[in-house]
Structure 1
């Protein structure tokens, strides 16, 4: 079988779990060599204290048909990021896809807490993890990505430019972080486009990450049990769905038409024709606007 990303090299920064892992695996399934980074390893857990590790992600990439390479990296440390990019350059001589999925702040924001009541240290730490890490990684990785024409940068966020513009997101710090990443893709589009590369922002929908499943007390096998208490969770999707979105972008020879825009897994499924693992095409952001935010009863008819 011909794989569209054979010979391509990707860096998924923030790939221990969630969207990063889903993206890394799908890039591997398309034939790419994928460097996966983060702070959770088999030897040492990050402050998340979660069981998922970089090595596990790398193994899944290889099992999917690519080559997974785990490189523990703290993306707040410029020297570590520089060493990572130097290693990719030495081993591969190129970088075709950069996915900035670093986040690490689920435990740092308080829902609906105004800025004056929110823990300040946690809020500032959230901004550093969500914004500084992306900027540091782009600073060091983009010269390598620009060495060959056609490179792709994907800024992972939560929400589209339209949705985030009109909707308050969780808290001052969370809202600011997610809006900043959207703006990064816009700015990078202006800087990369004239130099032969493309930058986009991509958001999953309501994603059944490992952490989300734990919050609802379910697994991927029985996730629908959560609908008894959270009916709108019916629109949710696996991390592999947004992974397929990114893989489709990376394989598109005309990807530059998306430069500087914000895209969603559900929207890209309509463009490229891929599905989630169960064969459905959930369109979560349209659902959230038209059903959940409109106060209508949960009904995914026409949305997946």
Structure 2
């Protein structure tokens, strides 16, 4: 949910020129005139969702902790929130980068007050704040009582408390108009997360957004708004490609030798396209309170990953983890 290399003035100029050309085609896009906030948009799925919302014509406020002058605890300086804002604009929307720590209530309050002041409405809120991968790595299969209390609680703060704080301040603006959409981003569906994830704190952290969407969906429907939780499959984020496998998007298949399940992986754009289509769907309230994965969204809205495939990670993993012989190619 955070972090890039600083663009040169020439690069920014080209981005602005391309954005002006793109607006010609997106000013009448399905999300034209809509205001979105993607909390945790520095990289990965958050960045992709922000870009695809922009491609559909939305004005998108993007937040994160890593900027061109400061790096968060994630430790990646190669992606910044400013760069995400520029990518949204380049895609044809209007990207507004606001460095924000969503565990700091006053920062979130100021962010929402700015959105209200500048636009007077909020149509889409995406809670994608996380940044706790480094905490998973140190768990090492330890039992709850063996794992450090401090890193465990930090995991919960990053992935649960930050979402609560953001919704507390942003939902009053969202419900001001009918049709608002809250998207809680997690890892896993309600079905897959019914099984223990092997780590007490991670299990709680990733199941909580599913319950948030279910509960808040009940509270929001009286205002003509809806909430859903969404999950990617095996995500080829920048961090996953580089830190976990030492590959790039161009040669990602080389990592399959190390991790066979990586054959079912998907780019962040896959979920981004699905969420943008959901946000533009006038009948999206039919999904209120539900847990949706990228493959479900792809089937519903006819979107694909960047290579034209439709990975169905969770269906594949259900059979593979049950010991069945399955070919990832049959689920792409």
Q: 2:207 pairs with 167, 176, 179, which one?
A: 179
**Structure 2 match to 1:39:** 65
In the alignment, does 2:20 pair up with 1:20?
Answer: no
- What SS does structure 2 have at the residue aligned with 1:10? strand
Alpha-carbon RMSD across the aligned residues, in angstroms, is 1.0
CA distance in 2, matches of 1:232, 1:60: 30
In the alignment, does 2:31 pair up with 1:5?
Answer: yes
**Structure 1 match to 2:135:** 108
**Structure 1 length normalisation: TM-score?**
0.97
Off by >2 Å, runs of 4+ in structure 1: 294-298
CA distance in 1, matches of 2:198, 2:140: 5
Count, aligned residues? 302
Q: Which runs of 5+ in 1 are unaligned?
A: none
Q: Which runs of 5+ in 2 are unaligned?
A: 1-24
In the alignment, does 2:249 pair up with 1:223?
Answer: no
CA contact (8 A) 1:231 1:298 kept: no
Give the Å deviation of 1:298.
Answer: 5.5
**Structure 2 match to 1:87:** 114
> For 1:129-180, what per-residue CA distance to the aligned partner results, in whole angstroms no more than 9, with x for missing partners?
1111101100100111111110000000011111111x22140000011111
Give the Å deviation of 1:39.
Answer: 0.4
In 2 relative to 1, CA 233–298 (structure 1 residues): closer, same or farther, beyond 3 Å? farther
CA distance in 2, matches of 1:33, 1:104: 24
**Structure 2 match to 1:154:** 183
CA distance in 1, matches of 2:213, 2:203: 16
CA contact (8 A) 2:88 2:94 kept: yes
**Structure 2 length normalisation: TM-score?**
0.89
CA distance in 2, matches of 1:40, 1:139: 23
